[in-house]
Amino acid sequence: MVPGGASLPSAEGAAAPDARAERTTALRSSGRGQDVVRRLIVFVILYALVVIAAIGLAGLLERAIGAGTVMVAGNDGGLARSLAFTLIAAPLAALLWWWERRHLADPGERSSLAWTLYLAAISLTALIVTTVAVATAANAGIDGEWRPGDLSAGVVWLGVWIWHGHLRRASATAPTRLAGLTVQLSALYGLTLAASGAISALAELIARALIDVSTVLVQSQQWITGVLQALVWCLVGALVWWWHWFREGAKDATAAFPAVLLVLVVGAAEATTLFGVGSTLFAVLRALLGTDPPAEALSALDVGVAAALIGALIWVYHARVLAGRSVPVQRAGRLVVSAIALIGAASGFGVVINALLGTLSGNLVDSDPRIVLLGGISALVVGAPVWWSAWHPERPVTAGDAADPARRVYLIALFGASAIVAIVTLLVIGYRLFEFGLDPTGAGGLIERVRAPLGLLCATALVFAYHFAIWRRDRTLAGSIVRSDSIGRLILVTGGDAGELARLLRAETGAHVTVWRAADAGAHLGSADAAAVRESLRGVTAPRVLVIAETGGGARVVPLAD
Q: Per-residue DSSP letters for 444-476?
A: S-HHHHHHHHHHHHHHHHHHHHHHHHHHHHHHH
Is the confidence at residue 16, as pLDDT, over 70?
Answer: no
Read off the pLDDT of each residue in 34-62 and give the average, rounded to a whole number. 91
Q: What is the DSSP letter of 555?
A: E
Is the confidence at residue 13, as pLDDT, over 70?
Answer: no
Give the pLDDT score at 57: 94
Residue 291 CA to residue 293 CA, distance in Å, equals 7
In Å, how far from its chain's centre is CA 2?
Answer: 71
Give the pLDDT score at 397: 82
Least Cα distance to 544 among 522, 525, 560 occurs for 560
pLDDT tens digits along 194-218: 999 999 999 988 888 776 544 444 4
Read off the pLDDT of each residue in 128-152 and give the average, rounded to a whole number. 90
Is the confidence at residue 297, as pLDDT, over 50?
Answer: yes
Read off the pLDDT of each residue in 151-180 and give the average, rounded to a whole number. 91
CA distances in angstroms from 19 to 12, 22, 26, listed in the order given: 10, 5, 10
- Identify whether the C-beta of residue 197 lies closer than 8 Å to the C-beta of residue 239: no
Confidence of residue 106 (pLDDT cuts 50, 70, 90): confident
Q: What is the DSSP letter of 122?
A: H
Give the pLDDT score at 444: 62
Is the confidence at residue 305, as pLDDT, over 80?
Answer: yes
Read off the pLDDT of each residue in 116-127 and give the average, rounded to a whole number. 95
- Identify whether the C-beta of residue 512 lies closer than 8 Å to the C-beta of residue 506: yes
Read off the pLDDT of each residue in 93-122 and give the average, rounded to a whole number. 89
Quick one: angle between helices 181-210 and 113-142, nearest 10?
30
Q: Which residue has the higher pLDDT, 132 or 63?
A: 132
Give the pLDDT score at 172: 87
Give the pLDDT score at 447: 81
Share of the chain above pLDDT 70, in %: 85
Tell me, letter by letter, the H, E, C secondary structure of 128-157.
HHHHHHHHHHHHHHHCCCCCHHHHHHHHHH
Domain boundaries, the chain: 34-178, 180-253, 285-290+322-478, 487-560
Least Cα distance to 490 among 503, 473, 479, 472 occurs for 503
pLDDT tens digits along 234-246: 999 999 999 999 9
Least Cα distance to 311 among 282, 344, 336, 278 occurs for 278
Mean pLDDT of the chain: 82
Residue 494, SS3 per DSSP: strand
pTM, rounded to two decimals: 0.78
Q: Which residue has the higher pLDDT, 295 or 134?
A: 134
